[in-house]
Structure 1
Amino acid sequence: PLQSMQLFALSTGSLVQGALSMFVFSLGTLPLMFGFGFLGTMLSKKSTATMMKISAALVVLLGLGMINTGISMSGFLAFGTEVYGNQSSLIDDVQIVEIEVGSRSYSSITVKENIPVKFNLLVKEGVLNGCNNEVVIPEYGIRIKLQEGDNWVEFTPTEAGIFPYSCWMNMIRSSITVTK
């Protein structure tokens, strides 16, 4: 939750709004932290040992989630990346692919190797938010700031495989499947 709030604060683009959102978050967590501290003093030694084991397991699970995100941000396909999606159509020796950008999702696409691609990320009114407003396609060195309407990206896939793409925060992920 803290990292999500930090990303939210950064995405506001404003020092004042970011600081205010972090302050409100800290006020909201204060009662919970005091409550856990108070309960910790009330637990027996046996209960404390059990809570420590549960806490350790939770830290390991959160760590695995962060490793998955790191792998995905490095340009590798990671757990939770969608691999099914839209097919392309061929017009004048160019593959044309369109997806509709969701507020929390991008569709995956399938294209053919060694044929130029024109990829449209269609954004309807009111869909853009702090996360989905920029798309990164590491394999092709593409980073595009989205706006409402059509957002065309052009590239030529030179090898077959599954290549991830995501929002700039790597929270919304999808993939480009390149076939022979």
Structure 2
Amino acid sequence: MLRLLNDYEVADLNVSQIVKEAGVSRQVFYQHFADRDALILAAAMDWVLDAYEHFAERFSIDQNFEASVVELASVVDGKYEAAVRLIDSPVHSVFDNEVQRVMRDTMREQLLPRSKEWGDADAQLVDDMSRVYVAGMQRLIEQCVREGCTAEEIGRRAEAVRRVLIRE
């Protein structure tokens, strides 16, 4: 799927093309996937969501953030076309929801100690901040991928934003 996404827009891909490339029958395809978009979502989950899960496991907002973002962003190295086509695909919003699911609790745990500095912060504010932080970083990474930034540049830009948001 990723090889096809490197060469074709999602709208230009059809099941016939996919099964031909994969060397499987349509029947086998439909035993595993409801349609083309289900396969694209599965490919995105295998490719990028696994990287986010690894990122969430070792995430620290105060330690090695830039290096962690560089490692996360490195999964798209050499596959920028496929990444941009996934970003532009119909499954993008579902994928973003999965990134939120993976990252939100981790981000909430990281922001909770800082919330004491915010004065009247309550659980709702911390939850809202975690959503905004995750969505904003995800959008920044997506924009950088569109621009063809290296993983190192993505890390630098994310770190600069983090420093401002965290008030360092």
After TM superposition, the score normalised by the length of structure 1 is 0.29
Greater strand content: 1
After TM superposition, the score normalised by the length of structure 2 is 0.31
* Bigger relative contact order, structure 1 or 2 (CA pairs below 8 A, ≥6 apart): 2
Greater Rg over alpha carbons, structure: 1
